[in-house]
C-alpha cells in the first residue's frame, strides 16, 4: 500500500476546509481507490477515509494511522458509517 499526495488536485476542497473550519493544515492522499483527507487544527487531528466502490478494510485504516500519526501511542476515536464506505479517525491533541 502506498499513500500518494494528491493535494494539488483538490485545491478547492483544501481552500474550503481552511476557510470554513478551524483546520490549520490539510492534505489529501490517494490510497488506490480510497481517498484520505488529513486535517489538523490546534486541538485535534482528523483523518477521513472514503471509498465509493467498496468497504474500507481494517488494514487500510491501520496503515493510514501508522503513516500519518507521529505518536503511535495516541488514542483515537473511529466513526464508521453503516456501509463502511467512510471511516473517520479523530485524535485529540494534549
Q: What is the pLDDT of residue 94?
A: 73
Q: How far apart are CA 49 and CA 51, in angstroms?
A: 7
Cα torsion 17, 22, 25, 30: sign: negative
Q: What is the pLDDT of residue 72?
A: 67
pLDDT tens digits, 55-84: 999 999 999 999 998 876 778 899 998 989
CB 78 within 8 A of CB 28: no
Q: What is the pLDDT of residue 48?
A: 96
Q: How far apart are CA 28 and CA 77, in angstroms?
A: 20
Q: What is the pLDDT of residue 2?
A: 92
In the chain, where the domains are located: 4-92
Confidence category of residue 20, pLDDT binned at 50, 70, 90: very high
Name the pTM for this structure.
0.91
Fold of 4-92: Streptococcus thermophilus LMG 18311 protein like (3.40.1720)
Q: CA 39 from chain center: how many Å?
A: 7
pLDDT tens digits, 21-51: 999 999 999 999 999 999 999 999 999 999 9
> Cell for 44?
485535534
Show Cβ contacts of residue 36 under 8 Å, excluding neighbours closer than 6 positions: 3, 28, 29, 30, 47, 48, 49, 50, 64, 68
Amino acid at each position: 500500500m502506498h499513500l500518494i499526495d494528491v493535494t494539488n488536485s483538490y485545491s478547492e476542497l483544501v481552500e474550503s476546509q481552511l476557510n470554513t473550519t478551524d483546520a490549520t493544515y490539510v492534505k489529501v492522499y490517494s490510497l488506490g481507490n480510497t481517498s484520505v483527507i488529513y486535517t489538523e487544527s490546534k486541538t485535534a487531528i482528523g483523518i477521513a477515509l472514503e471509498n465509493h466502490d467498496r468497504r474500507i478494510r481494517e488494514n487500510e485504516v491501520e496503515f493510514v494511522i501508522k503513516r500519518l500519526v507521529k505518536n503511535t501511542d495516541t488514542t483515537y476515536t473511529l466513526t464508521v458509517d453503516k456501509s463502511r464506505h467512510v471511516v473517520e479517525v479523530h485524535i485529540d491533541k494534549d
